[in-house]
Amino acid sequence: MKVAIVIFLSLGLGAHSYYFRPPQGIVNYGNQVIYSNALRYKLQEIANFFGSVTVTSGLRQGGDPHHAVGQAADIVVPGLDPKVVYDRLRMSGIISTDYIVMYHAPGVRPCSTGTHLHIARYQKEMFTGRATCWVIEGTNIFNRCPSRPPC
């Protein structure tokens, strides 16, 4: 029997309902820390969709302000090319608002190591309703290491 869970979160700007399937996929955090509960729920939704997700980087110091406060994750899906994951996520509607999704592509590598997806929330927990920004980075000298996403 499948069970749907609806959580009502009060986040200072009113209540917002959150629908997600019960955990069916596996999120492998390893030693990575994610402070944002909303991002953790989203990673679980992604794992439900693909079967599993590995978080390769979470909370860390450096140039990315979202990683510095634990509201970003770099992920890979075992057995799938990150570009395939990016395309499937974009078409799925799973991440339609409140996020920045950046595909760090192979090619010009000025600011990131390895090919992966970077998923960050605009706000740590609050819902902005702002459309998700989808970015492909590192395929040429004009889209390498954007300090601010173009959308």
State the alpha helices, DSSP H only, in 69-140. 82-92
CA distance 119 to 133: 10
Asked if pLDDT for residue 59 goes beyond 50, the answer is yes
Helix (DSSP H) and strand (DSSP E) numbers for the chain = 3, 8
- pLDDT of amino acid 87: 95
Look at residue 108 in the predicted model and tell me its pLDDT: 58
3-state SS, residue 58: coil
* pTM greater than 0.85: no
Domains and CATH numbers, the chain: 24-137 (3.30.1380)
Give the dihedral sign, CA 65/67/71/74. positive
User: Could you read off the pLDDT of 9-33 as tens digits, one per residue?
Assistant: 433 333 444 455 566 899 999 999 9
CB 16 within 8 A of CB 9: yes
Q: Rounded to an integer, what distance in angstroms lies between the CA atom of residue 101 and that of residue 151?
A: 11
